Amino acid sequence: MFTSVLMIEKALTSADVEFVTTLHGDEPVTFHVLLQPRGDQADRLLRAIDDVALGEIEEAVHEGETPEGEAARSVGARALEVSLTALRSAGSSAVGTLVEDHPLDALRGVVDEVGADEVIVLTDPHYVEEFFHRDWASRARHKVGVPVLKLFSHSDA
């Protein structure tokens, strides 16, 4: 059994589920999913810059409407449940946690606790953070002691 810790910021799409569940061929995979809602992450300006870089001007205009605080946690809890259900439906074992503070500390704790074989960071592109190596994947590589794979999520379910 292969153990992966999967860090996400929104519900997995069907394409995301297919991608991560087939990475290791026929070997069974257990996923430990950590989800921190987008509204609890980087500030609005960085999110808007990412949207503009992706050509999603309309999204940048509406970044102020992204749920934050308790509203983000409520949206995140639903997204986590949808993701876990989808992973299980694809034949994988999956458990998850909603991360409210310090996602990399939570990541390191889960990797150590479950003896993870790898970390998969599956998020939208975050160009500013990635340029300065402040994105989750870049920072995790220095903290967890297992391989870290950075993947970009698909936007449509």
Instruction: Tell me the mean pLDDT in the region 89-100.
Output: 95
pLDDT in tens, 6-51: 999 889 999 999 999 999 999 999 999 999 886 545 565 566 566 6
Instruction: Round to whole Å and give the CA distance between 53 and 37.
Output: 21
Question: Does 126 or 148 have the greater pLDDT score?
Answer: 148
Residue 31: exposure state from Cβ atoms within 10 A (0-12, 13-18, ≥19):
buried
pLDDT in tens, 132-148: 656 778 888 888 999 99
Instruction: Tell me the mean pLDDT in the region 68-77.
Output: 71
Residues 6+ apart with CB under 8 A from 44: 63, 64, 66
Instruction: Tell me the mean pLDDT in the region 124-134.
Output: 66
Question: Does 130 or 117 have the greater pLDDT score?
Answer: 117
Instruction: Round to whole Å and give the CA distance between 152 and 129.
Output: 14
